[in-house]
Amino acid sequence: MITTFIRSIVLYIIVLIVMRLMGKREIGQLQPFELAISIMIADLASIPMTESGIPISNGIIPILGLLVMHLLISVLNMKSIWARKVICGKPSILIYRGKIDERVLKKERFTINELQERLRGNNVTSLSDVEYAILETSGQVTVIQKPNKRNTTPEDFNIMPEYEGIPYDLVVDGKIMEDNLKAIGKDYNWLEKQVKKFGIKPKDALIVTIDGKEQIFCQAKSYIK
């Protein structure tokens, strides 16, 4: 029992490290070769995890081998357009200039109902609003609406919005984010003064953030020791 428990922890750590090294894609954005490797890693880890008679190395070594294979294919994809087309395929245009391409639908084994479902997933309810619908190599559908159906932007009205930048977390659950303070050129004394305006100390804050306009958001913990 203890052996199985320890083996499970070891394999979990190995798989977690391997998946982190593979990148940050979501499951729905994986390329075919990435999905295949992910499935194989899961199978390879499950066997030595439950079968104590099988050496744990029988799972770790193949998993590391798949990691090497993944890295090699990723480099090949970046270096060669031809290899990228062979390994990942290329996008298919399901709707071209407002017209559904039946030939492409049949080739990709896509039904009209599936197409409508994907459009709704992109907040498009009517086929008549679509200029292009592209089936990406990851399986996702990118929708480009007709010009008169697209959401308006400030640029459409010749408005130039102010620069907003990105928000930084300065305190999370009472812990001070030192790296973020350095990134905005501030120190603890400055932070303490800002948080004091809300009647608390940094260690008593649930969250403190600052946005690009230097506006501070602060919320105290509901329970302060």
User: Could you tell me which residues come within 8 angstroms of residue 75 by beta carbon, excluding any fewer than 6 positions away?
Assistant: none
CB 198 within 8 Å of CB 218: yes
CATH match of 92-149 with 3.30.240.20 = yes
Domain ranges of the chain: 2-86, 92-149, 168-220
pLDDT digits (tens, 9 = 90+) for 110-148: 888 999 999 999 999 888 999 999 998 878 899 999 988
Could you give the CA distance from residue 220 to residue 167 in angstroms, rounded to a whole number?
18
- 76-80, 94-98, 108-112: which range is least confident on average? 76-80
CB 196 within 8 Å of CB 216: no
> What top-level class would CATH report for the domain 168-220?
alpha beta
| 150 phi/psi in degrees, rounded to 5 | -75, 155
- Residue 196: predicted pLDDT: 94
CB 132 within 8 Å of CB 95: yes
Predicted confidence band of residue 25 (pLDDT cuts 50, 70, 90) = low
